[in-house]
Amino acid sequence: MYNLLVNCSNCHVPLQLPPGARSIRCALCQAVTNVADPRSAPPSHAPPPTSTPSPSQTTPPAPSPYNHAPPPPVHGRKKAVIVGISYKYSRHELKGCLNDAKCMRHLLINKFQFPEASILMLTEEETDPYRIPTKHNMRMALFWLVQGCQPGDSLLFHYSGHGSRQRNYNGEEVDGYDETLCPLDFETQGMIVDDEINQAIVRPLIHGVRLHAIIDACHSGTVLDLPFLCRMSRSGQYIWEDHRPRSGVWKGTAGGEVISFSGCDDDQTSADTAALSKITSTGAMTFCFIQAIERGHGTTYGSILNSMRAAIRGAGSDMGDGGGGAVTSLVTMLLTGGSSIGGGGGFRQEPQLTACEPFDVYTKPFFL
């Protein structure tokens, strides 16, 4: 079970209050939030803990480590969390995930007009300790993404890193496994399970809020635990599979819309490959998603999914042809260092599409 959530009294980030605790210190801004009764939120008229005003009570609150949090009170905002983890200097090291994060950020800013200040990057290259992709920081970033969401908002979560799965014993998973994401410190702090991701960024979404997830990881097909999966054949024919738990637990939203592209099915692995370049690597799924958008295949969800699958099946020579747009040029620069993209062979992964409700993938337009 999850602990009670209370908002930080200073930066308003949700905090998990341990059972019986009367106060909690925010790991982000270090402010202490006092809770008179842990079963309820403190009243708004509660007096300050000291009888004499301190300088902090007469000056503006300290800025949050997330410079753009809390979100401004306007509708129609675009916000994104981008996580790229290389696990550098470990036996789990990946080569392409930082490139994936940089390319996704460039795409969102230049193609979909996401404000730079509304994109939260979590990578090992960040100098801010709160933006290192640890388990705690990833949890806080997911809370930030949906905090204060209003009708008209467009949210995006992109993850490139390791994914895994573990046995599920409560009967909520069709395949008997929970899918997981692996933070930088997963070996000591544990993985983030699909149930938690669903509770953090899917269930809170109200009507009019739209969230897209792009998950480039192994075993990621249903990592958001969304109720429906689009099972598509190589010819492009599809049916929606019902993945709602037999227990009746609701895995959808509070009226909002969530659609997720993932790198592979739950029982498959995703490629972190140097087939695109002898200089560096990229996640095959992220590259093919950006390429689909840049080549004009981003009109509908079905056209994106088919384009990604065809490119991954081709696996190499077909990825470097054409495009030529601003994003593709940046991708080429980052991935190849100016060299031509080549290689051959295929990857045994098929990108997947899941959603909170079924829809016609060939008529529903894609937009962020």
**H or E element at residue 232:** strand 228-232
> Is the separation of the CB atoms in 3 and 12 below 8 Å?
no
Which residues, other chains included, contact 280 with Cβ-Cβ below 8 Å and sequence gap of 6+?
95, 96, 99, 274, 334, 335, 336, 337
Q: 219 catalytic, yes or no?
A: no
The answer to whether residue 356 is catalytic is: no
Query: Do you find a cis peptide bond into 71, omega within 30 degrees of 0?
Result: no
For residues 35-69, one letter each, b for 16 or more C-beta atoms within 10 angstroms of the residue's C-beta and e for the rest, the string is beebeebeeeeeeeeeeeeeeeeeeeeeebbbebb
The 3-state DSSP composition of the chain as helix, strand, coil percent (nearest 5) reads 25, 20, 55
Q: Among the options 12, 162, 219, 243, which is catalytic?
A: 162
Asked if residue 32 lies in contact with residue 21, where contact means CB atoms within 8 angstroms, the answer is: no
Catalytic hit among 8, 218, 230, 356: 218
* Residues with catalytic function: 162, 218
